[in-house]
Amino acid sequence: MVQILDLLNKEYDLVLIDTPPLLSVTDASALAPAMDAVIMVVKPGVTKLSALQQALEQLRAVGAHVLGIVLNEVNPKFPQIRLLLQPLLFEVFALL
């Protein structure tokens, strides 16, 4: 796998690797140390804060550099979205 990643990094400016959910299988934890950075994808209202904490701890334990978090399936046209997400965002950024 390391050889494939080296080849891809030489050939392309940006390589994105999508893995299964971190807590379900070990793929992401195994690959994370070889990556320049990791971006977590969470779904507000579905992803529990405790699961996010556990996932971030798992990434830290393997020496991954967590770049940030993407909130998936958020409707920006929903007027109250900022009010609903603001408390969650404060908690999430405190974890980073």
State pLDDT tens for residues 33-69: 888 899 989 887 788 888 888 998 899 899 998 888 8
Alpha carbons 31 and 33: distance in angstroms, whole number = 6
Alpha carbons 22 and 20: distance in angstroms, whole number = 6
**Six token digits for residue 76:** 């920006």
Q: Which helix (H) or strand (E) holds 71?
A: strand 66-71
Supply the pLDDT for residue 82. Answer: 62
Q: Output phi, psi for 66, to 5 deg.
A: -85, 115
**Six token digits for residue 79:** 């007027």
Supply the pLDDT for residue 85. Answer: 65
Supply the pLDDT for residue 38. Answer: 92
CB 2 within 8 A of CB 34: yes
To the question of pTM greater than 0.85 for the whole model, the response is no
Q: Structural domain of residue 13, as residue ranges?
A: 2-95
Supply the pLDDT for residue 44. Answer: 78
Report the number of distinct structural domains present in the chain: 1
How many percent of the chain have pLDDT more than 90? 19
How many percent of the chain have pLDDT more than 70? 80
